[in-house]
Structure 1
Amino acid sequence: ATYENCTHCIYKYIENNTRITAMLHEVIVKPSSLVITITPIPEVKAGEVFIVTGTINYNIKTISIENVTATITVNVKPYSVDVNPDGTYSKEITAPNKGGTYPVKITVVDYAYNLSAEETAQLIVKGKPAPPPDYTPLIVGTVIAVVIIIIIGVIFFKKREKIKPYLLILKAKIKKEEFIECGECGKKIPGTFKKCPYCGAEFEEELVKCSECSAFIPASADKCPKCGAMFEE
């Protein structure tokens, strides 16, 4: 056989006066999954530094690991991990400060092949376990608040008759009603009141304004109880 030339993977040769042309096609083999391992982690003390090691590879052994992002999560706290070209990894991490069993999870993402996987191991930390939540302050605070509300309610109930006039005065102020001056104590009260909430004076008849001191007094009065002015008519 006589080979003529080779250009762009096209091979041409002649055999028995027959020209044969062959083209080679490139075949790309892609992995279908990531294989992750975590070396068993020995028991550690609370707050002690330990090392998480393992391997990350593809299911096809001939393809080298590259362009992967690995993250180790211990007790919800993430740590970034550098992966060596041979697929091994190692990361120093400080154990939680409280005893117990914690999950150690490594998550790997390969953006080149659009693959992701994760693996989980257990970390046993020696030390006192975390105490259960203490709800005592919450319970005590709630009880105190309820007692205070009850006391305020009882006081308000007992004083409701004394408080009612003041609430009516406040209501009259909000409605912008006309206020008059009590002829006995001189306090300002709504003109619709038949009794002064401050001094208890009752108004059984029409009130008029004193020409001397402008206090509101009964229309039949012949003397102003506030300034002493006498009325002949």
Structure 2
Amino acid sequence: SWKVYVQTLPDLVITNLTFYQSGVEVDSAGVGKTLTINVTLENIGDTSSPSFRLLFFNGEFVNDPLASSIGDNLLFPGNSLLGHSSRYVEIGWTVVYPKGIRTVFAAVELLDGEEQRTDNNHLGRTLEVFDIEDVPEIGIDPGTLRLSSRYSGMSPSETGVGYLGTNISVMVNVTNHGGKTASNTTILFVVSNSTDSWVEYSTYIEFLESNATDTVVGFWMLDTPGENKLEILVDPENRVREFDEGNNALDTTIEVQEAPDLTVALQRAESKGYNFDKGIFEMTKGKEYIVVYDIINTGNFTYHDVEVTFTGPAINARQTVTIPAFGVQRVTFTVKPETAFSEEVAWKCKVNEGEGAYESDYGNNEAVAMFSVSVPEEPTSYLLLIIIILVIVIALIIAAGIYVYMKMQTGEKAKCSNCGGLVPLDAVICPHCGVEFSDELECECGEPIPPGATECPSCGRPVTASLPKVEGVSEEEETEEMEPESEEEEEVEEAPAEELEELSETEMPSDEEEAGEELAECFECGALIPVSAPICPHCGAVFE
């Protein structure tokens, strides 16, 4: 006997029939919508298939008189399916009437040869068909999708870029275009990248009436760098029977980058009043100083309208600046302390204090510096000093003028040897008694001294002054007599002094009277003389 292996004939079987609309598996569709019909065809026999064709029907092709063929027949030549192999086949179909629950069939028909069985050559699946007014029709409005950041200039919808660590607001409109109200419609935000996929946010719309629109708002935390895809799915499990399942999904892709960062750096060398040895600013109350800081941007993002503040008494303590990507912006404050402090004080420069701009690190947004503010030394007022100098100069000029005037009016004087009155040294006649003066000198012994003699010819005394025959006095002695230099001189002067004393009591004017006497100009020589003088002592003119 021999063992014989008997191969079975080919046996073609349709094992799966499904409907897809825009990649979503469905079991209902609206009239006029396009479906993809997908079938799995297997050969469960041992031998290769003969040639065959694959047919699709809208309705039960055997017993339903309304059944119609879907598309063209698909022809397969022999050996298209080897024994115990399978293949997927799909066709597109635009749904047509009639409405209601229909059965769509797929059937295999051999064109030659035989197969093991023929009762498993077809498979059907029900499909509900309706018009748009019969059911809800929920769809996402593509033009309404917005990815927004609360930080200015960082919205992915504007730039296509997001920044790591930011929380993005996702907003989109969902509209019911159908004739019926949709209930409990689920909305999912699904994020995926090259390595993973996850549901980022989910919500639902409890009721969405016919022709009504609802704005769905969700959030997306950007915590994965690189390319990220966001898919918005409406009714992802097809729990709402609707006219078109193909408009229930929308996606967008953005690039997630590292977040920028701002730092503050004090520029000591550029500032005024900084003491490098002590490491502090030394300032004086009431004076202005320049304090300079650099605002540094370490990220690929340009910051606009960022606020920079100084906590000290700066004239321009609050400024708004733009900081370019990977750039530096210099900020200068004019500091003018109005209060002195007994101890050092700490003042800060702060950037983005209200965190209105997004950064990866808010902890380095300020720089602290120490300041010493002292009371200024009270300087002598330059104006007061100038006034004092002017007053002194004017006083000196006036005093000099008075001195010159008095000098011109009085000059050197001597006492008349006859009456004892004070007369100028150059007088030729005494204005008080009228006695004439000669050029001869008189010695203390009473004898005349010839002109040019150096000693008295009578007593041999040396000549010490070339005075006329009058008793000379210096300008300082107008109010007091010279004291004698020796006892001998005192004896010589004693007798004339008594005579002068007697004259002064009777006819000589006192020094006080003469000093205060009014002066007049001589009509002949122009010299100033007392108004009471009967004769000009300078030229001898006689006054009436």
Q: Report the TM range for the smaller structure's normalisation.
A: 0.3 to 0.5
TM-score (norm 1): 0.37
Question: Could you say which structure has the higher helix fraction?
Answer: 1
TM-score (norm 2): 0.17
Specify which structure has the bigger relative contact order, considering alpha-carbon pairs within 8 angstroms and separated by 6 or more residues: 1
Higher Cα radius of gyration: 2
